[in-house]
Structure 1
Amino acid sequence: MEICLPSISQAISFKLKVSLEKDANGVHFHYPLAMYYDQTTQRLYVSDTGNNRLVSFDRQGTPLKEFDAAGQLKGPLAMVRDQTGSLWVVERPLNSLTHIDLKAQRLKRHQLTYQGRTVLVDRLLVWKKHLIVLDRATGEALLLDRSLKVNRAIRPKNKDFRGFFDIKIKGDWLWGLENISARIYGINLTTGKEIFVTPDRKLSLPVALEIDRQMNIYILDRYLKKIFVFDKNGRFRYSFLDEGATPGHLNYPWQLLFVDSELLVLDEGNGRIDIWRH
């Protein structure tokens, strides 16, 4: 299926490549809440939260395997694969950062603390040999060392910072979408340099961001059920997608992910991931 979405004022279009909504056995997703692309294996992993499992796909969108840690996995919210090949999974009902050693078939759960309080683990990233977790309680991104101790909290110097709602890693830069305001912060994890972008259009409920190779900023609005695109200075360029149940439409979308030139849109309400070719 191909649905072309011409931009409002630019010669840009997206074509719907495929919709992912079930595993190789035909079992449909139930409240999918996260996706992760492993560049090493070229596999896409979907956290099928309602079914307590992870489902993998190849680069063309063909379903491969499902994994539930022999029935032990509980409400996976996010996952990454580290340099050793192990999986790290956020289990929301247990507030656990869970390490899964695939070779040894072992699962070990960890509860994180920082400055005497419990960390509410949410989004999860890998940067070099480090894990970065988004603490939903404070909106800070926490850089972990190998022992899972917090090496440092990552937040902009802005005094009225409201906390991150979504975070992404691009090279040595951590990019964060600020809660409610939709302001964008870029923080270089090596040099400490900061970039601050204020979109020039008010949004309703921004929940996810992505950035393409031209430094255009994509913000997903869960309430308006649209993707808004801004240039690197925050100037509005165009928006696309609308509310609906059919492929190419949204019903309570939750996450964005660029894989090369393809934009993946996770739609919790419709229980699927739409892959758009740019």
Structure 2
Amino acid sequence: MRSTKMIKLVKILPLLAALAFLPGAAAAQEGSPWQWQLSLLIDTPGNAMYMPAAVAFDRESERYYAVDTGRNRLVSFNRQGELLRAFTADDRLQAPFDMVRLDDGRLWVVEKGRNSLTLIDIGARKVTPHTLHDGDRLVFPHRIALGEGKLHVLDRASGQILRLNADLGVEQRFRCRDCLGGISDFVISNGEIWALETRDRKIYRFADDGAISQTISLDQEASFPVSLALDGGGFVYVLDRQRNSILTYDENGRFRYRFLGPGHARGQLHFPRQLRFDPWGRLCVVDEGNGRVEIYSR
């Protein structure tokens, strides 16, 4: 009988060891100061967000905007996470994917459904799509950000970031010539662009003239990195979509810790899409699979 129990134990031990290192295990949370604060979601049956792809912010009115791609709408919440409004632009939005809000209240929205960068004036009820070109080449907008008052768009086709002038013409390109897969996400911090390359698992830091000033290798810590964020204190956060977790690196690119893991409960992720910091220092994770935006503070 004892030998039978020992055989069963020997078979179980490898499984237990493997589970101990799964994302979301207690060991993955060590060193993390981040705590769950709230979720941006719609809990009305049949009306929940479906495939949210991005989160944006309005510092002045203290609002969040979630880009709900699957339901062709933009959803606003107050700072406490209470639902304010679901905006569809009179059902004219076609697969919105990302957005930024201008100081005058107008919105620039990336629409994948018609491959456009669309300007929305909510007060005037005006929706103006724009098809972008880089020379004679069609641009496929993917991500968008504001830097020094100018629009920056990630072109999914070429894998490069384009800085646009007032006429939506390209005035500067940010690219990595040796990247195999092209840039997949970017953020702007203190006038510099930080860009993520998923296939090579690297982060590139660009100066204003397009030159690469720093390269950070994520090595094997990241399985499938899809988004990044900077906290203003020198730390870089990377969203691992495959492992449903967040990796943290210091300003020199040294790995510090990993936190969060897979699941559907509060504080867990299911195929997350984007990582951003809000104006109040909280870390926001667009949790596509769970139809919500999770917000953490420390």
TM value normalised by structure 1:
0.90
More strand by share: 1
Q: Does residue 250 of the first structure (1) align with residue 277 of the second (2)?
A: no
Q: Does 1:53 align with 2:53?
A: no
Equivalent position to 1:83, from 80, 99, 103: 103
Say if 1:9 and 1:237, in contact at 8 Å, map to a contact too.
no
1:57 is displaced (CA, Å) by 1.0
Question: Cα–Cα, structure 1 residues 213 and 47, in superposed 2: closer, same or farther, change >3 Å?
Answer: same
CA-CA distance at 1:82 after TM superposition = 1.9
Deviation digits for residues 4-32 of structure 1 (CA, Å, limit 9, x no counterpart): x897553x422111112217898311111
CA deviation after TM superposition for structure 1 residue 115, in Å: 2.5
Does 2:229 align with 1:210? yes
After superposition, the Cα gap between the structure-2 partners of 1:250 and 1:23, relative to the gap in structure 1 and judged at 3 Å, is closer
Structure 1's 83 and 151: CA in aligned 2 closer, same or farther, altered over 3 A?
Answer: farther
Q: CA deviation at 1:243?
A: 1.0
Match of 2:9 in 1: none
Q: Which residue of 2 aligns with 1:195?
A: 214
Letter of the 1:115 partner, please give it: G
Structure 1 residue ranges without an equivalent (≥5): none
**How does 1:109-148 map onto structure 2 within 5 Å?**
109-148=129-168
Q: What secondary structure, in the 3-state scheme, does the structure 1 residue paired with 2:113 have? A: helix
Question: What secondary structure, in the 3-state scheme, does the structure 2 residue paired with 1:19 have?
Answer: strand
Amino acid at match of 2:113: P
Higher helix share: 2
Task: Give CA deviations for 1:43-88 in whole Å, capped at 9, x if unaligned.
Answer: 1100011111101111121111121111111111011112332111
Question: What one-letter code is carried by the residue in structure 2 that aligns with 1:77?
Answer: F
Residue of structure 2 in register with 1:236 after alignment: 255
Structure 1 191/94 Cα, relative in aligned 2: closer, same or farther at 3 Å?
Answer: closer
Q: Check conservation: 2:28, 2:260, Cα contact below 8 A.
A: no
Cα distance in 1, alignment partners of residues 83 and 41 from structure 2? 10
Kindly name which structure, 1 or 2, has the bigger radius of gyration based on alpha carbons: 2
Counterpart residue identity of residue 267, structure 2: G
The 4+ residue runs of structure 1 with deviation greater than 6 A are 23-26
CA distance in 1, matches of 2:42, 2:197: 32
**In structure 2, what is the equivalent of residue 97 of structure 1?**
117
Q: Does the 8 Å contact 1:250/1:267 carry over to 2?
A: yes
Q: Specify the code of the residue in structure 2 equivalent to 1:227.
A: I
Q: Give identity over the alignment, percent.
A: 38
Between 189-198 and 74-83, report the one with greater CA deviation: 189-198
2:179 counterpart residue number: 161
What RMSD, in angstroms, separates the aligned Cα atoms of the two structures?
2.1
Report the count of equivalent residues. 271
> Using the alignment, how far apart are the partners of 1:101 and 1:182 within structure 2?
38
Q: Secondary structure at the match of 1:50?
A: helix
Answer yes or no: is 1:269 the counterpart of 2:289: yes
